[in-house]
Amino acid sequence: MINTSRTTALEQTQHMFESAHIMLTTKERENIEIADFGLGDYPRSGLQLLTYINSPRYCAKELVLLPEQTCPEHLHPPFNQGPGKQETFRCRWGEVYLFVDDDSLTPNKRQDGSLMCRPPEGFEKYYTCHRYILLRPGEQYTIAPNTRHWFQAGAQGAVVSEFSSESRDDYDIFTDPKVVRASTL
């Protein structure tokens, strides 16, 4: 694990918001979550996020990924007699490789056979989605409920707006059974 303090992570996250020209209130800055997923691998595996609103009707968040940072593979299962969380990712700044269990997307291989993106070393067996869409600023993709996915920032990092139905992170199912969603730096 790279030794990163909460203060350093918040400073990096704030810089990313500024790069994306997203202005935050003092209260919003105080509510930024630094998720390390309990893997002892932050910042390689991790996510910084700010939830604007999360209600039974809808949810809006900003996701910040540091350079080449990866959010572990997971899905949003059905809950409360509903189909589960449906979410749209819209890239605001940088690039994000969104891997989804969707056969219509691009395989994770370059022409020479090497991988476009690599899961964090030592965790490869927990990344089973091998098709991706590359999102650049202004591009978006909607993930259906109960669909496995993971994502990784490009070399500069990324800021992604997430619009979804109700978010229940406590119901998320991660491919890696060691992931602790509530864990924060």
Is pLDDT of 7 > 80? Answer: yes
CA 25, chain centre distance (Å): 22
Percent of residues, the chain, with pLDDT higher than 90: 91
pTM confidence score: 0.95
User: What pLDDT, on a 0 to 100 scale, did the predictor assign at position 107?
Assistant: 95
pLDDT band at 3 (very low <50, low <70, confident <90, very high): low
How many Cα neighbours within 13 Å face the side chain of 23? 0
Supply angle C-alpha 103, 60, 44, rounded to 5.
Answer: 60
Structural domains in the chain, CATH included, are 6-174 (2.60.120.10)
Q: What is the mean pLDDT of residues 142-166?
A: 98
- From 19, 106, 116, 20, select the one nearest 70 (Cα to Cα): 116
Least confident of 12-21, 112-121, 136-145, 157-166: 112-121
Is pLDDT of 21 > 80? Answer: yes
Q: What is the mean pLDDT of residues 110-127?
A: 94
Beta-bridge mates of residue 150: 99
Other beta carbons less than 10 A from residue 40's beta carbon: 10
User: What pLDDT, on a 0 to 100 scale, did the predictor assign at position 181?
Assistant: 84
β-pairing, 140-143 with 87-100?
Answer: antiparallel
Q: For residues 68 and 83, what is the distance between their CA atoms, to the nearest angstrom?
A: 31
Mean pLDDT score across all residues of the chain: 95
User: What pLDDT, on a 0 to 100 scale, did the predictor assign at position 142?
Assistant: 98
Q: What is the mean pLDDT of residues 2-21?
A: 89
Q: For residues 160 and 91, what is the distance between their CA atoms, to the nearest angstrom?
A: 4
Q: What is the mean pLDDT of residues 114-137?
A: 96
Q: For residues 19 and 159, what is the distance between their CA atoms, to the nearest angstrom?
A: 9
Q: Is the dihedral of CA 41, 46, 48, 51 positive or negative?
A: negative
Question: Which tokens hold the place of 157?
Answer: 């990092």
Q: What is the mean pLDDT of residues 7-20?
A: 96
